[in-house]
Amino acid sequence: MGQASRLPPISSQRLEKLTALLASLGIDPVASGEPTGAGHLQADATALAPIEEALTHTSAGRGRNHEQLEFLGDAVLRLAAAEFLERRHPSLSVGQRSALRAQLVSDRWLAELADRIELAPLLRLGPVALGDASGRATVLAECCEALVGALYRLGGSSRGGLELVLRWLEPAWERTSAELLADPDRHNWKTALQEWSQGRGLGLPHYRCEEMSRRHGDPHRFRAWVHCGCDTPATGVVICSGEGWGGSRREAEQQAARVALAAIRRPEGWSGER
């Protein structure tokens, strides 16, 4: 028996939601996959079984879950991103493409994409995942990557599946790549500041971070400061400094580094090789 026989029955209401999700991605499920005698695939439980599987997290405790499709989606995502860069940015060097692709397939980007398409309400989660606010972004990224694998299968795998994935992701990648090419240090400001500081003989940047609240999900939970040029602002000349806020220590430090970089240089062209 196929995969669909191992999944719990999908209700008509659930099918409507899955069909609406695909439509929001610019994909007509009736025209996807293997054609029927009428030349179209009906949006039934069998056709949409991969989508249901991708949106079923392991925490839900069901026989089939997102893990296998996440594994497939990881490979498909990287291939699709490479093809996108070949089509849209052929003038970039291999090093530049590699650096840009790393951002386009990152867990952070996948979680943000999942938020934009409002994937969270469609996920089947268990009590542990539902109660773990700090792990929300990870769950979203995992299931979004599994959705990539599901679309690849829905499109018949091979070339058809890849084109289906690209149909969904290319517009989002266009926006993101434009932002990244305008600001190559985006989301990697700490590394850029470290290279700037060490390149001028200033040593490593110095960070200080304080937890300002205990509430998970609070975008201002942590406040961070960074300075370059001396061990502490009180013991020497500060060459540059910045302050940032974030829902995690890492995010707050990234924002502090971003502010510091903005203060010391103009945006530069994409260098890629970091």
Which residue numbers are catalytic?
Answer: 74, 145
Cα(first)–Cα(last) distance of the chain, in Å?
49
SS3 sequence, 96-131? HHHHHHHHHCCHHHHHHHHHHCCCHHHCECCHHHHC
Backbone angles phi, psi at 126, to 5 degrees: -90, 170
- Rama region for 229: left / alpha / beta (φ>0; ψ in -120 to 50; rest): left
Pair type for strands 222-228 and 240-246: antiparallel
From edge to edge, which strands make up the β-sheet containing 206-211? Answer: 206-211, 222-228, 240-246
Q: 127: buried, middle or exposed (CB in 10 Å: 19+, 13-18, 0-12)?
A: exposed
Q: Computed from CA positions of residues 124, 128, 131, 136, in that sequence, does the dihedral angle turn out positive or negative?
A: negative
Per the structure block, which two tokens stand in for 41?
């695939």
Q: Count other C-beta atoms under 10 Å from residue 210's C-beta.
A: 10
Rounded to whole angstroms, the Cα distance separating 87 from 85 reads 5
Three-state SS at 150: helix
